[in-house]
Every structure is written in C-alpha cells, then in structure tokens.
Amino acid sequence: MKTTAVIMAGGRGERFWPKSRNSRPKQFLSLTKDGETMIQKTVKRLLPLVEAEDIFIVTNSAYIGLVNEQLPDIPKENILAEPCARNTAPCIAFAAAVIGRKYDDAVMLVLPSDHLIGYEELYTSTLKKAVKLSLEGKNLVTIGITPDYPETGYGYINFGSETAADMPDAYKVERFVEKPDLPTAKEYLASGKYLWNSGMFVWKVSSIMENLRTFMPEIYDGALRIGEAFGTESFNEVLVREFTAFKGESIDFGIMEKADDIYTIPGSFGWDDVGNWLAVERINEVDDSNNYIEGDVISIGSERTTICGGKRLIAAVGVEDIIIVDTDDALLICSKNSTQDVKKVIAQLNDQGRTGLV
C-alpha cells in the first residue's frame, strides 16, 4: 500500500507579522538563516518516507501560486485548493477523498506545514512506526510530543499502559484533552502520561473515511462527492459547493476526542511549533550576547534580542529582551513578554481598513 502525505498549509500565522501577511503566511516564510521556507523544510524532511508525487498540499486557493513557486517538484494536481477556511476536519476529508480516488486505499501522513524538527532521522523513524501501526489495522495513530514544561497553549494526549503488541513505545490513547490551565498542565507533566498534541496524524484513507462517516457524516458525504468529481470538469463547481457548506471543525474535536482504537507514539525529535517570534532565537544560533541578528545590524551592548533586518541599517543600542522585525512598509518592536499581542496590531490595522499592511 502506498504511503502518502497531506501537508496542511492553509494557516495565517498572524503572530509573525510584519513578515507574515495575508498574502504570505508563516509556512511560506523562511525563519532560519538557510533561506528555506517552513513548507519547503516540511516537504524535504518527508522525502525519505514519501515520494514527491504522493505528497499533497492542502492550502487556501490564494496560496496556490506560492506553493507552485516554492515546491516545484510537487505535481500541480496534488495541490488542493480550499475555497475557504473550514479548520482541519474538512481539509483532511477533502485530501482523503482525493487520495482515495487516486489510490483506492493508502496510508496518509497528515502534517502541519509550519513546524520545525530538530532531529530528522528520529522524526522519520517515528513516522515509520506510525505507518506500520496503520498498516497493521490500528484505527488512528497520532504522534505525541514528550512535553518538557507545562505548556498551556497546546492540547494534550493522555495515554495508558497498554501498548501495541509488537511496538512497546506505541501507547493506546485514553483521551484527547483541550488546552489546560497551568495547574492542570503541571499535573499532566508530573503524571508522565500526557503528550502534547502536535497535529501529526497517520491513518489509512479507509480508516479516516470510516471515522468521518460515523462522527461527521455530512463532511463524509460532501467529501465523497468532491472525490468523485476530482479530475472531472465539474470538480471546481462541486468543490466550492460542498466545501463552503461544511461546518468548520477541527479533526481533534470532530474525531480524535470521540473515536476508539487510537494509538500514540511519543516523539522526541526536537519538535518546535514556531508559534511566535520567540521561536527565532530557539531555532537559530545566537551570538555571545544571546542575540539573534539577521541583516545589516550594528549592536552596541544589546542582549537577548532578536533582530530580523530588512533593507536598512538597524542600530540596536543597549536594548534587552526585545524583538525587532523590519520590512519595507512596517516595523515591529516587541517586548519578548508581549509576542501574543502582535495579533492586536493586526486587529487595529483591520479596524482602520489598512488591509495592505495585514
């Protein structure tokens, strides 16, 4: 059975403004000095497992040009354009239906497009185990991330002591839980029985379709009709009609929290969700003063500061713990304690109708 991959690339990444814009979200940016974009890295690290012709990109129709430009080796027919944003369940159903139409059945790796992996060989071997579990008939498999602090911004996966018969590090999932408060997150961490939900899933097309039929029948029916139309003249018309009618829902809430026979494999491969500007100093090398500096910069006594320069000279004098991002038309200067508030800038710009800057 073929192993395919579905890369979900419809997100906005508002927290990387002003580099990320509506017209170029985070997955299409490079946040590392090598110049590779997040989605290019995502595809590259999959190639030991999946052939390029079996990698599918689901993205907003506005980003088709960016995907073609950044991923020239991915066949054009594998780039699936969502007519609108409907969260992960419709996205995955759409991809499953198309892959089902092409290959009847196949293993599907479902992966975000905007995360980074530090240890790619560990990542590959973990995904291989997940593929094996799927092929053995496990309903749904998810990669959990071994937590190293009580993060309150992620959902968690609770696992028990039961493992897969021939795989001692593949645990049967007890339940998926939503983002906890801090005391709860601390309990999760202390228990040793919780993993972060990374949004990486592995299953057969036939399995996920069966789960959609059971838990999300409207999406199942619509996806079937989209799959039937794939490759025909009426495809776009059917896609727009069916997809826009879907209720937006996450796969976690729609299926993972309800289904049985789910297994999780703990991953310790240096996963980073690159959630906001604080990530840049984590995923790049810093200088002796713990600054990350990119571009034409003079630093005089600055410490623990991230500077992503643009075309102009930036002089940073005696500043500490701030993030500076320069672009042609907008400049961000942000305290490291306030990276979540970058969204508020976008909200103000939208309120002011300054959509060209968003």
Our finding on whether 316 is near a second copy (CB under 8 A) is yes
293 is a site residue for a second copy (CB under 8 A): no
Cβ neighbours of residue 324 under 8 Å, at least 6 residues apart? 305, 306, 307, 308, 309, 314, 316, 331, 332, 333, 334
In the window 9-38, what residues touch a second copy (CB under 8 A)? 17-18
Q: Which is nearer to a second copy, 152 or 340 (CB)?
A: 340
Question: Which of 75/301 has CB closer to a second copy?
Answer: 301
CA distance 175 to 242: 31
Q: Which residues, 6+ apart, have CB-to-CB distance to 140 below 8 Å?
A: 201, 203, 207, 208, 211, 255, 256, 259, 261, 262, 263
Residue from the set 300, 308, 353, 355 that interacts with a second copy by CB under 8 A: 300
Contact by Cβ (8 Å): 356, 22 = no
Q: What is the DSSP letter of 252?
A: I
DSSP label of 139: S
Establish if 335 lies at the interface with a second copy (CB under 8 A). Answer: yes
Q: Is 289 in the site for a second copy (CB under 8 A)?
A: no
353 contacts a second copy (rule: CB under 8 A): no
Query: Residue 357, interface with a second copy (CB under 8 A)?
Result: yes
Decide whether 289 or 338 has the Cβ nearer to a second copy. Answer: 338
**Which of 33/343 has CB closer to a second copy?**
343
Strand ranges (E), 205-283: 262-267, 271-272
| Minimum CB–partner distance for residue 280 and a second copy (Å) | 15
Segment near a second copy (CB under 8 A); pick from 24-32, 188-196, 241-249, 315-323: 315-323
Cβ atoms of 265 and 122 closer than 8 Å: no
* Between 136 and 320, CB nearer to a second copy: 320
Q: Is 240 in the site for a second copy (CB under 8 A)?
A: no
Residue 313, interface with a second copy (CB under 8 A)?
Answer: yes
Q: Which stretch binds a second copy (CB under 8 A): 29-37, 91-99, 235-243, 318-326?
A: 318-326
Alpha-carbon distance of 66 to 28, in angstroms, equals: 7
Residue 150: cis peptide before it, omega within 30 degrees of 0: no
Q: Smallest gap, in angstroms, from Cβ of residue 318 to a second copy?
A: 3
Q: Which residues contact 207 (CB under 8 A, 6 or more apart)?
A: 134, 139, 140
Binding residues (CB under 8 A) for a second copy: these are 17-18, 298, 300-301, 312-320, 322, 324, 326-335, 337-339, 341-342, 344-345, 348-349, 354, 357
